[in-house]
Amino acid sequence: MRAHLGDQLVIESQKTGATRRDGEIVGLHHEDGTPPYDVRWSDTDEVTLVFPGPDAHIRHVEHGQPGTTRGSSQPDTGEAQAVSAIAPPAGTPNPGDIGRRVAVERRRHGLSREETARRARMSPDYLAYLEEQPADPTVATLLRLADALGTTATALRGAGVDLPPGQGHALLHPQLRDLSPEECRHLLSTHGVGRIAASTPDGRPAVVPVNYEVVDDAIAFRTAPDSVPAAAVGTEVAFEVDHVDEAMSQGWSVLAVGPASVVTEPDAVRGLTQRAHTTPWAGGERDMWVSIRPTSLTGRRITPADQ
């Protein structure tokens, strides 16, 4: 019997062949995948050390194979082992979407794999497997990871990524409060995606998302000279950043208002380019840096009334 992290251990009734218990293998004690295993049982969500008996077999996750699902393969026969053998070598990065989202959230919070695994009550080796290989973790595993990373299982799965945020129900007793300038500055820093509101050359209003940085209390973003954001140069503009917590029906928004200008000083341009956390997601030639120095900074937050 050999297994990989993420495979299922299934225990069947020797009389009827029906599944009596199953769980996800979250820890290996031997490099060749032989028992014993750390198993997280689906019925209790507890992890125990298991030495499988004759009534147990492995359901392999077909690692690295697109379009496969958990439990679709046969018990631990020679054929199943052959299928398992086509998995990428251990340590070869080949993440799925869930793994990429987990890794991004973990790094965004400055957490190591060990600390994240401790918070999510799982093996660091299994977390490494999730981040580096296509995986189909259980709902319980996703919920623990989401809680450890301060996000939701839905967000980690990527469900609803093409839908606008905020489609959930409102809080029963919401509270809308104003944010202080200090809170606004904290939420606005250091970088991310915000929206600039400006007038186009033909006089029409427009709102455009941009990747931005905050440097010395100024909001800076890159754009193209013939773009809508570039038309904001020399005028007073509004710049908005927000965040919505779908699971908790909470959120905040910050609005900065001030004049927009082109950054032309070579050292300043070079410094902004070097400090930028990302290139513009829209791609293309966007080498024109625009700076907004807020003269007004306001914000609001929605929370439960008892907070």
Domains of the chain: 8-84 (2.30.30), 97-157 (1.10.260.40), 174-304 (2.30.110.10)
Predicted confidence band of residue 247 (pLDDT cuts 50, 70, 90) = low
pLDDT-above-70 percentage for the chain: 85
Taking only the tens place, the pLDDT of each residue in 3-46 is 888 888 888 876 666 667 888 888 888 888 888 888 888 777 77
Taking only the tens place, the pLDDT of each residue in 85-130 is 333 444 445 567 888 889 988 988 889 999 999 999 888 888 988 8
195 three-class SS? strand
Answer for the pair 259, 235: CB distance below 8 angstroms, yes or no.
yes
Q: Per the structure block, which two tokens stand in for 251?
A: 């959120």
Q: Per the structure block, which two tokens stand in for 159?
A: 């469900």
pTM above 0.75, yes or no: no
Predicted confidence band of residue 74 (pLDDT cuts 50, 70, 90) = very low
Taking only the tens place, the pLDDT of each residue in 179-228 is 999 999 999 987 899 999 988 878 889 999 999 999 988 999 999 998 98
pLDDT at 41: 82
Answer for the pair 221, 289: CB distance below 8 angstroms, yes or no.
yes
Task: Considering only CA atoms, give the Rg of the chain.
Answer: 25
* Contacts (Cβ under 8 Å, ≥6 apart) of 11: 19, 20, 21, 22, 52, 53, 55, 56
Calpha distance 93→134 (Å, rounded): 10
Calpha distance 3→51 (Å, rounded): 13
